[in-house]
Structure formats: structure tokens, C-alpha cells
Amino acid sequence: MARWLVKSEPAKYAFADLQRDGTTVWDGVRNNAAALHLKAMKVGDEVLYYHSQEGLAVVGIARVTREAFPDATDPAGRFVAVELAPVRPLKQPVTLQAMKANPALADLAMIRQSRLSVSPVRDGEWAAILQMAGD
DNA sequence: GCCAACGTTGGC
DNA sequence: GCCAACGTTGGC
């Protein structure tokens, strides 16, 4: 099972919104590298949910409930979307600052390429982040 | 609000 | 097909 990290601006769609909605279509990704990651997602894959712009922290865990399908919001039909459902919030948010300070996360894709909105998380990185969250 | 990173567009 | 200009994202 693969693991991922997605970013969302909480003012637009926060983890609490996902909890309220039960599932959401993760569309609007218009970046090829991010789209490749979306296409690689499988049902059951786990996803860290990161708040960008405000909060600047991983706040919860979500799960892939539907694999890549055409993004209805893309008129050109080139990009894909997936469907996500909430799993649980982290006990404590893990801030970007804390992640940057952890040598175990030096290679984390979202740190190395900060603008990537969907990125892979390795097993060791996943474990490190959950440990920091007290989970 | 600024700026760095980086992807995309368009002229040549 | 190159590359400069431009737009967007996201941290600070």
C-alpha cells in the first residue's frame, strides 16, 4: 500500500470539511507531476492531509476510496481526480517547521518541492510524522 | 505583501 | 525546439 500527502488551503477545503462531507472528489489538480501521483493512487492508500497557507501542518489522515477518473472540472479532459474519505485527525498537528527540523524528513517530497500539491510519502517518513503527532 | 520556485505559454 | 516572459503556488 502506498502513502501520499495532499495539500489544501483550509479556507477553501479543510480536513474538518472532509470529515463533515464523508467523502470528497479531489479534483482541480493541474500539475503533471501531481497528476501522475493521483494516477498511481489505489483504493485503500493512506493520505496525509496538509493545510497550506494557514496552519501549515499535517492535520489528519485520509484514505483513497476511488481511483483516478477524469476530472470533470477540466474542460480539456487531460487531468484526473480521485475520491478521498477521512480516516481520523492526528492527535496533534505536525507543523511544517517541525518536519523541516526532523532529519528523518529531509527527503520528504513536499519539503523538497514545496509547490507540489500531491506527493508520495515513504514508509519511514510516514512513521516519523505519525510519531511526531503522538499517534 | 513579497519573493523564490517552477510550470506554462508563445514568439522566434 | 529554445528560451524569455508570465502566472501561480506557498512560505515567510
Stretch (H or E) spanning A61: strand A57-70
Query: Per-residue pLDDT tens for A29-54?
Result: 998 889 999 999 999 999 999 999 99
Other residues' Cβ atoms within 10 Å of the Cβ of residue A13: 16
Residue extents of the structural domains in chain A: 3-133
DSSP code, position A87: E
Stretch (H or E) spanning A110: helix A109-112
CA A54 vs CA A33, A58, A106: distances in Å: 24, 11, 22
Q: Calculate the angstrom distance between C1' of C2 and CA of A46.
A: 41
pLDDT bucket at A108, cuts 50 / 70 / 90: very high
Checking each nucleotide's C1' against the CA of A32, the nearest proves to be B7
Q: What was the pLDDT predicted at A83?
A: 97
Fold category of A3-133 in CATH: ph1033 like fold (3.10.590)
CA A112 vs CA A7, A37, A44, A97: distances in Å: 14, 16, 26, 14
Query: Which of strand C's nucleotides are less than 7 A from any protein C-beta?
Result: 8-12
- Grid-cell match 464523508, residue found: A22
Q: Calculate the angstrom distance between C1' of C10 and CA of A116.
A: 10
Query: Per-residue pLDDT tens for A50-107?
Result: 999 999 999 999 999 999 999 988 877 888 999 999 999 999 999 999 999 999 999 9
